[in-house]
Chains A and B, each alone.
Chain A
Amino acid sequence: MTRIVNLSRRKLLKAIGGGSGLVLGVYFSATDRASAIEEPARPLRAGFEPGQLSPNVFVAMDPTGQVTLTVSRPEMGQGIRTTFAMIMADELAAAWPRIVVRQSDGDAKYGDQITDASRSILIMERPLRLAAASVRQMLEAAAAQTWRALIADCRAVDHEVIHVPTARVLPYAQLVKTAMNLPVPNPDKLRLRDSSSRRYIGHAIPSIDMGAMLKGKTPFGADVTLPGIKYASIERCPVYGGKVKNFDPAGAMAVRGVEKVIEIPANPAPSGHLPLGGIAVIASNSWAAFQGRKKLKIEWDLGSNASHDTTAYRAEMQATARRTGKSVRTLGNFESAYAGAAIRVVGEYFVPYQTHATMEPPVAVAAFENSKLIVMAPTQSPQTARAVLAQYLDLKEADIVVRPTFLGNGFGRKALHDYICEAGWLAKATNGRIKVVWTREDDIKHGYYQPICFQRLDGGLDKNGVPIAWRHRTVFPSLASTFHADQVLPDAAQLGQGFVDMPYAIPNLRCEVGAAPAHMRLGPGRGGLNMAHTFAMCSFIDELASAAGKDPANFLFTYYAGPKKIDMKALGVDYPNYSALIEDYPLDVGRLQNVLQFAMDRASWGDPLLPRQGRGLAVHRSFLSYAAAIIVVTVAENGQISIPRIDLVIDCGQVINPDRVKALMEDSIMYGLGFALYGEVTVKNGAVEQRNFDDYPVARAVITPEMHIHVVPSGHPPTGAGDPAVPVIAPALCNAIFAATGKRIRTLPIDLNLLKDAPATAPVPTAGAPAAPTAIPLTPAGPAPKN
């Protein structure tokens, strides 16, 4: 049940829009579909009646007709400020230039604001429409009252209300004051505008922040400046869970510009959102703080993770994956089917630790004044930041304001708030204004790493090449270990990302998970555990197709053969379905088939290729959306690879802003290629060995392939676009390499040395085949120009 309350009567205008005007907040409860995956109701703000849910959205119109939309999701490149404005503008029949967007702070009245897992549109589309529709209907009612006309004859169009029979017109500005005194329409009676009246949704609307962004004027966390602000840089223990034994600040204090050296106490592992601790050097500018850090003398107590070593750990994980694990999904009898199989296939897959490497490293500004804390920082969850700060600094939430800035990427890193806690702690300790600046080295060496993961798959085919047995074991340290001690097995949410949701109709099946103790601080990354699991799952089905001597696409079609919707409950599987109701967002094999067919048609699957070329595909559902990739790769005799073409298909339900979906698909390809080709964090003696973009390379312009993005027209409710296409890129690439060379890549990042002198297995070219593309060197380009 949704309730809409006219807040103008509660004198909240000043707080949310400035000036007087019409303001509506939407309250929604857990029975609404849109809110079904929301968190429970937040505490009420003083002044609200008890028993209500918190307002989630604010649409405000002032007497000049200017609309202020408060966007309750931080902007990190997904274009959410523009997309939310489009949804609102169509339902309000608003003129685009009359819209102003403001960002909500981390206050409970806006509802949950956590921006991750590609859920913002899913959660907010309907509440935004309801909020805007209410405003529009009140303006229409105000016009009807003014004209003494029937409401049904009054229609809002382009920031005006028209009296249809007489063609009289009143601009919104002249109706606001009348509308403010009218009752709020019952949400059940709201008439949503039909899709034919839309002027924004479905169109490539440019970012509302475009002009400012291209001039460097959108404030990111690092760009916040305050009079008298000091800059802090923190030396942290190289090993997770370690702490300072003793330190000598004298050298740092001698550096020009350095003003203070303070120890931030270590928070023992698992430290969750809290700082790792270390020695903070506070200076009049960032550079002085960095220089001061270099002069610190620190003796560390490295703690119990000092022996962690990724090479040894991989061997342990492999041993675990070769033993029976805890079963989380079973069907039929794997053992007897496997024993009776005519062909058996085994694949062991490995994905290393990776880190987010957001373009903007973590940074936060905090000011502590009159016992109140104000934080301005890039955060994917301002309310979480506020709650964590309150607990950590022993302050009341009411005394803390968290204002999200623009984010130079998030990728999950900025949903974890150690850097914000560091700034808050230092501001409180110095009773001042502090900007904590992370260097890129800090970012690479002290991140929240995506889990290292070892998987083993065993598959059996009968004598006709029909897969009859599938066993998948996964071993990785649980993300929950960052928050809770003694987590050696991952939870259902993590296992629900490309593991237990295996969609192939194979009659004898086991999914098992093996224990892995955590030695690093872990955190979710883009694509989540789908990145590792989809790599293995979509590669292994390709292995089975190859063993069966079948075309991989036809093979997939054949084994998407079960019921069109997989009923995990009936199968007895604990499957959280990305926190959404499975009834509303089923695991729909029909949509998997559809994206595959779409990709095959667009990419001319089956057409002949040049020698040393191969075509690979991968299909996967994640974050409630469906993605398929087909990649053509050329492998040169020296092992160098180039990618003449990628086709990427996404079905993310109804699309609000097609240009942003397309941009996110281009982005997904580049992120996925970086994951497949480069991303690797290794650990020796408990410390990360990489430090910066020179040894932790990411995708650059030079590896950009020819991209063909296809968005499936869909009547399904909108679902995620930021994450779901990333996981299919690596397996599609590796399957293409196999098609070109017969070499199966089971370890990421891809070791191109393995492809040297690989035989060409691709078919001989026929007349009219495309010309050979120039080889793209898939090694990181050096910086240009050199100084």
Chain B
Amino acid sequence: MPALNINGKEHPVDAEQSMPLLWVIRDIAGLTGTKYGCGIGECGACTVHIGGKAARACKVILGDAVGHDVTTIEGLPDTHPVIRAFAQLKVPACGFCMPGQIMQAASFIKLRSDPEDDEIVQAMSGNICRCGAYERIVAAVKQAAGAQR
């Protein structure tokens, strides 16, 4: 049986290679922090890291993920600068999109340590928040980028 490395742990996965990583993570590995919002890569709720880079788990199939390190929100440390900034600026409302937003932001600030506001906006515009917390999201990403420097 193939195994998938999620958050540093090997999970045996008995499933079709074509199954999207999202459903492997949620229904098979039982990690529910990664959310389903659209299934077509439009909303970003399922954002995880594959080999340290943000990816939409609904658009990556199991077969392509095996052999890479997958990190979900559960694998991000509580003290991560993005999580701290999101808490300080009281970003979440309903909270449903937060894991995806945070994983997207964590990947982004690793690549861009001193981003312009426009770059943050562009980087976060693939993640929908139906509570409209965008102003706070952008401010929190900026703060987190500063904190990691």
A217 touches B33 (CB 8 A): yes
Contact B133 A667 (CB under 8 A): yes
Measured CB to CB, the nearest residue on chain B to A209 is B95
Chain A residues near B44 (CB-CB < 8 A): 783
Shortest CB distance B43–A (Å): 6
- Given the complex of chains A and B, what is the CA–CA distance between A214 and B88 in angstroms? 11
Residue of B90, B93, B98 near A667 (CB, 8 A) is B93
A785-B32 in contact (CB<8A): no
- Give the chain B neighbours of A783 by CB distance below 8 A: 41-44, 56, 126
Q: Which of B75-109 contact A (CB under 8 A)?
A: 76, 78, 83, 86-87, 90, 92-99, 102
Are the C-beta atoms of B35 and A220 separated by less than 8 Å?
A: yes
Complexed CA–CA distance, A304 and B135 (Å): 46
Supposing A213-B98, A357-B130, A360-B96 touch, asked if A784 and B26 sit within 8 A by C-beta, the answer is: no
A761 interfacial by beta-carbon distance below 8 Å: no
Size bracket of the A interface: 35 or more
Which residues of the other chain, B, contact A786 by a CB distance below 8 angstroms? 41
**A667-B42 contact, Cβ under 8 Å, with A256-B16, A287-B20:** no
A707 to B139, CA, bound (A): 13
- Cα distance A257–B27 when bound, in Å? 12
Does A702 make an interface contact (CB < 8 A)?
A: yes
B128 at the interface (CB under 8 A from A): yes
Does any Cβ of B come within 8 Å of A76's Cβ?
A: yes
CB interface residues, B 7-46, toward A, < 8 Å: 15-16, 19-20, 23, 26-28, 30, 32-45
A116 vs B3: C-alpha distance when bound (angstroms) = 45
B33 touching A216 by the CB < 8 A rule? Answer: yes
The reply to whether B35 and A781 form a contact with Cβ atoms under 8 Å apart is no
Interface-facing stretch out of A84-92, A117-125, A310-318, A691-699? A691-699
B6 within 8 A of A: no
Indicate if the CB atoms of A77 and B55 lie closer than 8 Å.
no
Asked if A700 contacts B125 (CB within 8 A), the reply is yes
Interface size for chain B: under 10, 10 to 19, 20 to 34, or 35 or more residues?
A: 35 or more
Of residues 659 through 707 on chain A, the ones whose CB sits less than 8 Å from some CB of chain B are 659, 663-664, 666-671, 692-694, 698-702, 704, 707
B135 touches A666 (CB 8 A): yes
Stretch of A188-196, A403-411, A590-598, A609-617 on the interface side:
A403-411
Please tell me which one of the listed residues B38, B40, B73, B137 contacts residue A215 in the complex, with CB atoms under 8 A apart: B73
CB neighbours (8 Å) of B55 from chain A are 785, 787
Question: In the bound complex, do residue B92 and residue A210 qualify as a contact, i.e. CB atoms below 8 Å apart?
Answer: yes
Which of A206, A360, A784 makes the CB contact (< 8 A) with B123? A784
Q: Which of B33, B45, B125 contacts A702 (CB 8 A)?
A: B125
The listed residue (B33, B43, B92, B124) touching A693 by CB distance below 8 A is B43
Q: Are A663 and B93 in contact (CB under 8 A)?
A: yes
Distance, CA A207 to CA B98, complexed state (A): 14
Instruction: Return chain B residues, CB-CB under 8 Å to A441.
Output: 39
Give B88's nearest chain A residue, CB to CB: A206
Distance (Å) between the CB of B98 and the closest chain A CB? Answer: 6
Residues of chain A from 78 to 98 with CB closer than 8 A to chain B in the complex: 78-79
Closest to B41 in A: A783
A408 with B94: in contact, given A211-B87, A700-B134, A704-B135 (CB under 8 Å)?
yes
Residue A225 interfacial (CB < 8 Å)? yes
Contacts of B34 in A (CB 8 A): 216
User: How many angstroms between the C-alpha atoms of A209 and B126 in the bound complex?
Assistant: 25
Q: How far is the CA of A28 from the CA of B102 in the complex (A)?
A: 43
A747 contacts the other chain (Cβ, under 8 Å)? no
Is residue B4 within 8 Å, beta carbon to beta carbon, of the partner chain?
no
Chain A 196-218 interface 0/1 with B at a Cβ cutoff of 8 Å (1 = within) = 00000000101101110111111
Q: Are the C-beta atoms of A408 and B134 separated by less than 8 Å?
A: no
Is A427 part of the binding interface, using a Cβ–Cβ cutoff of 8 Å? no
Q: How far is the CA of A784 from the CA of B72 in the complex (A)?
A: 18
Among B23, B95, B126, contact of A286 (Cβ-Cβ < 8 Å): B23
> What CA separation (Å) do A692 and B45 show in the bound complex?
14
B138 at the interface (CB under 8 A from A): yes
Q: Say yes or no for A285: interface residue by CB 8 A criterion.
A: yes
Given contacts A409-B96, A692-B42, A694-B40, contact A285 B28 (CB under 8 A): yes
Distance (whole angstroms) from the CB of A531 to the closest CB of chain B: 15
Would you call B132 and A670 a contact (CB within 8 A)? Answer: yes
Closest to A783 in B: B126
- Residues in A lying within 8 Å of B, measured CB to CB: 75-79, 204, 206-207, 209-211, 213-220, 222-223, 225, 231, 256-257, 285-287, 357-361, 406-409, 411, 437, 439-441, 659, 663-664, 666-671, 692-694, 698-702, 704, 707, 774, 781-787
- Since A214-B95, A693-B40, A701-B129 are in contact, a sample of 4 more A-B pairs with Cβ atoms closer than 8 Å, ordered by chain A residue number, is A214-B98, A215-B99, A287-B20, A667-B131
Q: When A and B form their complex, which 9 residue pairs have the shortest distance between CB atoms, in order from nearest? A: A216-B33, A670-B132, A408-B96, A77-B94, A77-B93, A784-B126, A213-B95, A223-B32, A285-B27
